Chain A
């Protein structure tokens, strides 16, 4: 095992995939000569050359759509967006093309493409640059949506995503790039669609994904100080959702909290909470507790921005309010 950063894990995953399969290539804005806006692709242009590490114009609709076309023709493009917020410029190509073309062709073609993008807020980029549309894409049949929270999951899921025959939205919370964790030295995969118990506990099940896992693990530490043993489930994949792992845990603990860092209304957190209630109401001691981002755009100024992002204390307060723990 070696300790590396989330960013290094992604880079290793890209290198392994490029080495393993000549049909894999990368494209995106400033991923080559500039080394990538978040330096994930640093040094790859020198090693793999401009055919496989392709800098694109600022034309998201064109190069995301071109990724779909190349994938239909059997290549395995890994397309990088500078921000998930910019995926909106290409959202028609994602939702109407990547997600639909297999179905509309009656299964004649497939789209083995990965769309990587940094997501999330918290660094004062203001309303248009601080969004996480993986929530939206998770409600689109035909797409898979992956949201790793650790270097291990990032590397293992990236390999699986590139090898998957379907379009995968690979959401990288930008706050995670510098975080560290252990990864095996040999190649490995983490399967898409499998949640992971990040911490075991018997009193309450806390469900989240991506950066939210950091908040939940922190909350679990704090809860432990008062004797509450919280189980933390990292969904890792938002579509398909692994509700079986969640259900098993909820039926063990009898309590559940869902953390969705996105807008609380009509987000994925609401879907998960509803599904927990639907499946396990007989086992629950109360309603499913919910913590979500405020239903506001993200302001530039730091105090207000932080006020909109779920904090550890919100989780603790919500559990206290709902279950009296």
Chain B
């Protein structure tokens, strides 16, 4: 979690310096979800997510250097700089993308999950998505399809209460809880979890995955969370009160989780300091790696269009 936080603080800094450009969406505040959920996956499981994807990528173990280089648009990046922040991919790790068309990732997840079912493996596909994306038709279509076909999908809602400037209560008819809606599609395994609590997320994911791997079809988890910063770097955040943000910041997993660990005597301050120092070094190194990597050669514009 600390790696994701430091990495993203650095991304923000590099954006202001003009090294990272385009749209940059930070996951700051939501780290416990990616870390808790992805820690429970097997190497052959698939992950698809939205454009707010750095957390999922790093939690899956995508290379920090290549991730930063991708954000810099350099040839050493995960996709040689062609995708950028919103479109991180590492197919070898089953990480089939950040996707920037809201709701675009749901059907893809269905197909990936179908492949596991077709090949009779116990693999699953986890699809991460935001509260705002549940207003797209694809969400409802895929929930139904996945349930009818009993596809091994874990629908993982990162409910940070806002889709850009729109709080859920201004754009959603179903109230503040989303998980009960899964039952409408015959998805019985639907849970809600504190998205600021990495252990709780881990537990909920473990149980859901067991159900899916046992052949019960899709499962649904809603994690309640909050993005501490704007929607993207271009967002002046005029639509919400800072008191709302402050209340959530008090639950920041980056501070609360280590405090818990220390209180339980599971780790010492000195050990934490050591971890932090090594993570800080890893992040600094990623910037150096990205800076040293050249821009892709001109020919790359024309490659990777067809297989």
Contacts and interface: CB of A to CB of B under 8 A. Distances in A.
Contacts of A127: 82-83, 87
Interface in B131-187: 132-133, 135-137, 163-166, 170-172
Given A57-B135, A124-B21, A129-B100, A300 B165 contact: no
A124 B73 contact: yes
Given A33-B165, A34-B166, A126 B136 contact: no
A151 interface: no
Contact of B165 (A34, A123, A129): A34
Contacts of B305: 296-297
B84 interface: yes
Contact of B73 (A35, A57, A294, A302): A302
B140 to A, nearest CB: 10
Interface string A280-298: 0000000000000010110
A58 B82 CA distance: 26
B296 A300 contact: no
Given A58-B102, A126-B84, A296 B136 contact: no
A302 B73 CA distance: 7
Interface residues of B, number: 40
A21 B295 CA distance: 53
Most buried by B among A30, A126, A129: A126
A300 B82 contact: yes
Given A33-B166, A56-B171, A129-B23, A307 B301 contact: yes
A126 B166 contact: no
A89 B238 contact: no
A301 interface: yes
Given A34-B164, A124-B73, A300-B83, A55 B171 contact: yes
Nearest to B163: A58
B101 interface: yes
The SS class assigned to the B binding surface is loop
Interface size of A as a range = 35 or more
Interface string A122-152: 0111111100000000000000000000000
B244 interface: no
Interface in A89-125: 89, 123-125
A60 B165 CA distance: 16
B274 interface: no
B132 A304 contact: no
Contacts of B301: 294, 296, 299, 304, 307-308
A85 interface: yes
Interface of A: 29-30, 33-35, 37, 55-62, 85-86, 88-89, 123-129, 294, 296-297, 299-304, 307-308
Given A297-B305, A299-B82, 5 more contacts: A57-B172, A58-B135, A89-B103, A89-B137, A123-B22
20 contacts: A57-B166, A57-B171, A57-B172, A59-B136, A59-B137, A89-B101, A124-B21, A124-B22, A125-B23, A126-B84, A126-B87, A127-B82, A128-B100, A299-B82, A300-B81, A301-B81, A304-B295, A304-B298, A304-B300, A308-B301
Sort A-B residue pairs by CB-CB distance and give the 9 closest, nearest first. A34-B165, A300-B84, A301-B73, A301-B81, A57-B135, A124-B22, A57-B171, A299-B82, A124-B21
